[in-house]
Amino acid sequence: MYQQSMHGRLIVSKDPNAPTCEECHGTHAVMGKTDPKSPTFPTKVPVLCARCHREGQKAALRYSGPQHEIVEHYAESIHGKGLMKSGLTVTAMCTNCHTAHNVLPQSDSLSSVNRRNVPSTCGHCHHGIEEQFERSIHAVRAGKTEKELPVCSDCHTAHTIRRADETGFKLEIMTQCGRCHETIARTYFDTYHGKVSQLGYTKTAKCYDCHGAHDILPVSDPQSHLSRDNVVATCQKCHPGASRRFAGYLTHATHHDPEKYPFLFWTFWGM
């Protein structure tokens, strides 16, 4: 397994910067990963990996991907703070996502961080979320689309993951959704919900409040939060007195589309 990994291949090719077993495990005083004194104990893994992957070090210098300041960003993420500041050894560390001995590039279909495998990798810790996601319209099984379907790291990022109830995340997620749903996002920002959200108010309905976060389904699906059977209850989460007529509000109607919304278009531009 190790010989087929990125690290192992470097050793086989006699690369002078290849990481050896001793660099991670030590020599004669090798200890198990459950021993707090071991360099592979959970709270020490980020520091261990940082020896090569911190900015300016040998692995970071040869890396040409889009991720930068990986170790630094991880330390400030919800995972990094949980592990390194709070001592939560169940928090995700480098080896939880990339594995310990089978590290492969993201482009490799067998890599734990390949796009198709990310949901199951995150699902190792986030029990139940993967099951929701795999039933959603975003799941790979949903079929081919013009754009790549999003996975966990598209919405939450890979190394700068924040709490989902954090103000910054709540406000930025609308833009994240808009990267794929450009037209729909524009119509959202034309609405009361969108305009108030742009002012920094987090309690106004965001995309996930109506469509769901990990269990997004088309409106035609009976299980969708916005299906005819569920839409009133969805609106009632914020508007307790919402009725069927209230829920009939055209959320994404726009005065910029004369074909789909002619009355709204001519009323707006005719005034």
Q: Are residues 99 and 210 in the same domain?
A: no
Residue 250: the pLDDT is: 85
- Global confidence as pTM: 0.86
Domain's final residue, options 156, 177, 192: 156
> In this structure, what DSSP letter does residue 236 have?
H
- As given in the structure block, the two tokens for residue 54 are 């911190």
Q: Give dist(CA 240, CA 220) in Å, integer.
A: 24
Amino acid identity at 194: G
Residue 268: the pLDDT is: 83
Total Cβ atoms within 10 A of residue 100: 16
CA atoms within 13 A on the CB side of 260: 8
Residue 175 lies in a domain: yes
Q: Give dist(CA 225, CA 249) in Å, integer.
A: 15
Q: Give dist(CA 204, CA 198) in Å, integer.
A: 10
Residue 263 belongs to what domain range? Answer: 167-270
By residue count, the chain amounts to 271
Q: Are residues 89 and 198 in the same domain?
A: no
- As given in the structure block, the two tokens for residue 167 are 């103000």
Residue 19: the pLDDT is: 92
Residue 223: the pLDDT is: 97
Structurally, the chain folds into a number of domains equal to 2
Give per-10-residue mean pLDDT for the chain (271 aa): 91 92 91 94 96 92 86 96 96 97 95 96 95 93 76 95 93 92 91 92 94 96 97 97 93 86 85 75
Q: Are residues 27 and 106 in the same domain?
A: yes
Residue 158: the pLDDT is: 95
